Amino acid sequence: MRAGVPDPRGRLPPPRHPRARPGAQSGRHRRRRPLPRRPPPERLEAAATWAERIALVEGELLAALADSAEPDPLVDWMWDRIRRSGGRARIGDLVARTGWSHRHVTSRFARRFGVSPKAAAGVVRFERAAAEVGRVPLPDLAVRHGYADQSHLTREMLRYAGEPPGRLAAGGHPTAYTALGTKPR
């Protein structure tokens, strides 16, 4: 079937994505881009400070970004909504606003960021909450950042930081923001 021309039965071909390249493979048969290479572990171990380690990883990520395709407005819009909401945006509602299927939006987002929108929202929400651990009572912190209750907050802290909120606050272990000396946006 040719683009825009019905077949003998009167069916139109499926629409092509507006940025699809002629002759490019589509759907599941498309080749996956290789993952960005990681800095060798010995270089990370040799780095004396967290700032040096983060600079190594950041350099690799920026190199991968330079090799990546052009920005995707849909994914950029979705990331902005997730970030502005502090990770509390309902992914289903965002997907519904796009007009695309959940699977399509999730795969585009994951292609760009390496994680699903829900996982990205979880990380954003964790970072915001972790920045306030030790300064705000845990039940208030859980409510403020959209966790169901204090135990939900504790499980997420264990998941992302590897330790409960009390130890995280007492130990002062760095998260991405605290290591850089910045605050979540």
Global pTM exceeds 0.75 = no
Pair 108, 75: CB distance under 8 Å? yes
The pLDDT value recorded for residue 11 is: 60
Looking at per-residue pLDDT, the higher value among 174 and 58 belongs to 58
Q: Which two tokens stand for residue 49?
A: 């400070």
How far is Cα 114 from Cα 156, in angstroms, rounded to an integer?
A: 20
Which region holds residue 181: left if phi is over 0, alpha if psi is between -120 and 50, else beta?
Answer: left
Residue-wise pLDDT for 80-121, tens only, equals 999 999 999 999 999 999 999 999 999 999 988 889 999 999
Pair 150, 142: CB distance under 8 Å? yes
Q: Which two tokens stand for residue 27?
A: 């759907």
Residue-wise pLDDT for 123-180, tens only, equals 999 999 988 888 899 999 999 999 999 999 999 999 988 888 888 888 766 666 555 5
